[in-house]
């Protein structure tokens, strides 16, 4: 597409779905070995669906890293109206 000058309507992984999701109850806790991030996801739509929650970290501009770095993802299938908890465990290497 790029070689033909075509601009995609949606970027890869945009997340087109037949349902909608809500994230809430975000909790972040630390331990001696890293950080634990927990959130609840609810299918607020009328049909079952799969959501791919993603955890990105931002580093200071002088760190030499991209503005956002993917540090975790999961796949969660939810029936309409149901919810589930998702957990990301970050170790010291993830935070460097």
Mean pLDDT of 13-26: 85
- 22 strand-pairing partners: 42
Dist CA 22 CA 80 (whole Å): 12
Report the mean per-residue pLDDT for the chain.
Answer: 88
**Residues counted in the chain:** 96
Distance of CA 74 to the CA centre of its chain: 8
Q: How confident is the model at residue 95 (pLDDT cuts 50, 70, 90)?
A: confident
pLDDT at residue 14 tops 80: no
Tell whether the model's pLDDT for residue 50 goes beyond 80: yes
Q: Hey, which of 1-5, 48-52, 91-95 has the most confident mean pLDDT?
A: 48-52
Topology of the domain comprising 16-89: Immunoglobulin-like (2.60.40)
User: What average pLDDT score do residues 46-63 get?
Assistant: 91
Under DSSP, the state recorded for 8 is P
Distance separating alpha carbons of residues 77 and 25, to the nearest angstrom: 19
Domain segments of the chain as ranges: 16-89
- Mean pLDDT for 32-37 is 91
């Amino acid at each position: 597409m790029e070689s033909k000058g075509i601009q995609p309507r949606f970027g890869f992984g945009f997340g087109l779905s037949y349902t909608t999701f809500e994230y809430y109850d975000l909790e972040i806790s630390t331990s001696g070995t890293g950080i634990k991030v927990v959130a609840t996801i609810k299918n607020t739509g009328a049909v079952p669906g799969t959501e791919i929650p993603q955890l990105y970290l931002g580093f200071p501009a002088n760190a030499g890293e991209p503005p956002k770095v993917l540090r975790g993802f999961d796949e969660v299938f939810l029936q309409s109206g149901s919810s589930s908890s998702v957990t990301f465990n970050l170790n010291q290497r993830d935070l460097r």
